[in-house]
Amino acid sequence: MTTNIDELETQLFAQLESANDEQALEDLRVNALGKKGSVSELLKGLGGMSPEQRQEFGPKVNGLKTKLNDLINAKKNNLQEAALEARLLSERIDVTLPATPRRAGSIHPIMQVFEEVSTIFADMGFAVKEGPDIEDDFHNFTALNFPEKHPARDMHDTFFMQPSEDGTRKLLRTHTSPVQIRTMTSEKPPIRIVAPGRTYRCDFDQTHTPMFHQIEGLVIEEGVHMGHLKGVLMEFLARFFEVEEAAVRFRPHHFPFTEPSAEVDVRCDRSGKELKIGTGNDWLEILGCGMVHPNVLRACGIDPDVYQGFAFGLGIDRLAMLKYGIPDLRNMFESDVRWLEHFGFEAFFAPSITSGLSR
């Protein structure tokens, strides 16, 4: 029995010596000290021995058990410490290196202004509508009372698609006014909507790009007159430009889809370095509007003897340029990150229909 124990001890210590990773140590522990391990088996054997034999071998086997257990644990600790040491060396961090800049995107001024404008009109009870960018002649021109020979129907102004087999040509909408038609043919008055969106015309200079943005307004109700139109526009302009009052001037104009039609100027001051809206002795053209033409109402199946209404169209890009001092429209669509960082808005500040305009 003694030789048995001594032999086992020699054998186990040799194995301990050559166990060089945690897994090997764990295997050794299980093989020697586990339930069916060699040392455990010896311990079990003590039960069947005479008291004298037990007295002799008991302390020896138990001693072996404790010693082996301690040695395994000590070696495990050493291995873990060495591994940690190696990690600390290889993963050293140089805290003096400059930080990697964290780049966050920003809200494009056009999206910001879309939100601001929609929020103001939503507060006044207008619903927000959208229509397709690719339109047909009926919604973009005919139903809006454009005569057959109107210059806007000309190839020079409008992007037309290839004609389809029946000879009709789709087009990229030249304004957001077709959404008026889509709304009036699918809904019954009272109607009170704004329609923000992209619009397209063959044009390119400092204040024109082939793709630009508009917001259309439409109100159809019994008894609506130009006074309501003026009130809505003054309220909108004062809130948008964040001034007490925005005086407006209506200049007679012509649009096929409104009668009477007007261009609206807002009071402004150009005497200083910056353009100021709301004060001063100058006027700035800001939008087009009018009372919806009876032919437009008829084209949508609405009786002009019962219902009246007004409509207006605003250039979003122009509003953004005026409010945020953006000198060239073309930069808006060049995706220059420096420009976007300068003129963009933090998402946190973007107003929404639920949060309102306040920052």
Contacts of 225 (CB under 8 A, 6+ apart): 291, 308
For helices 22-33 and 51-90, angle between their N-to-C axes, nearest 10 degrees: 170
Q: Which stretch binds ligand DAH (CB under 6 A): 49-57, 85-93, 270-278, 308-316?
A: 308-316
CA angle 147, 151, 170 (to 5 degrees): 80
User: Closest separation between CB of residue 216 and ligand DAH, Å?
Assistant: 5
- Of 210 and 325, the one with the shorter C-beta distance to ligand DAH is 210
Which residue's CB comes closest to ligand DAH?
313
- Minimum CB–partner distance for residue 130 and ligand DAH (Å): 16
Cα distance between residue 311 and residue 308, in whole Å:
10
CB of 217 to ligand DAH, least distance (A): 7
Q: To the nearest whole angstrom, how small is the minimum distance from the Cβ of residue 291 to ligand DAH?
A: 8
Q: In the complex with ligand DAH, which residue's Cβ is closer, 7 or 285?
A: 285
Is residue 252 classed as helix, strand or coil in its secondary structure?
A: strand
- What is the distance between the alpha carbons of residues 246 and 268, in angstroms, rounded to a whole number? 9
Stretch that binds ligand DAH, among 33-41, 91-99, 153-161, 311-319 (CB under 6 A): 311-319
Q: Which residue's CB is nearer to ligand DAH, number 63 or number 210? A: 210
Q: Judge whether 246 and 257 are in contact, CB under 8 Å.
A: no
171 in the Ramachandran plot: left (φ > 0), alpha (ψ -120 to 50) or beta?
beta
Q: Is the peptide bond before 260 cis (omega within 30 degrees of 0)?
A: yes
Q: Name every residue whose Cβ is closer than 8 Å to that of residue 65 and which is 6 or more positions away in sequence.
A: 33, 39, 43
Count Cα atoms within 13 angstroms, Cβ side, for 238. Answer: 11
Return the residues of window 266-295 that contact ligand DAH according to CB under 6 A: 288-290
Q: Does 121 bind ligand DAH (CB under 6 A)?
A: no
Q: Return the H-helix or E-strand segment holding 134.
A: strand 134-135
Minimum Å gap between C-beta 166 and ligand DAH is 27
Q: Measured from the CB of residue 314, what is the shortest distance to ligand DAH in angstroms? A: 8
Check binding of 182 to ligand DAH (CB under 6 A): no
- State the sign of the Cα–Cα–Cα–Cα dihedral 220, 226, 227, 233: positive
Min dist. Cβ of residue 133 to ligand DAH (A): 14
Q: Which of 173, 313, 319, 329 touches ligand DAH (CB under 6 A)?
A: 313
Q: Tell me, by CB under 6 A, how many residues bind ligand DAH.
A: 11
Site residues (CB under 6 A) for ligand DAH, limited to 9-68? none
Nearest CA among 197, 295, 286, 293 for reference residue 247: 286
Instruction: Say whether residue 175 binds ligand DAH (CB under 6 A).
Output: yes
Nearer to ligand DAH, 75 or 293 (CB): 293
Region for 11 from its dihedrals, namely left if φ exceeds 0, alpha if ψ lies in -120 to 50, beta otherwise: alpha
Asked whether the beta carbons of 92 and 314 are under 8 A apart, the reply is no
Q: Tell me the closest approach of the beta carbon of residue 273 to ligand DAH, in angstroms.
A: 30
- In the stretch 224-263, what mask flags binding to ligand DAH with x, by CB under 6 A? -------------------------------x--x-----
Q: Which is nearer to ligand DAH, 71 or 152 (CB)?
A: 152
Supply the minimum distance, in Å, between the C-beta of residue 175 and ligand DAH.
3
Instruction: List the one residue from 115, 116, 135, 216 that touches ligand DAH (CB under 6 A).
Output: 216
Q: Residues in the site for ligand DAH, rule: CB under 6 A? A: 175, 177, 216, 255, 258, 288-290, 311-313
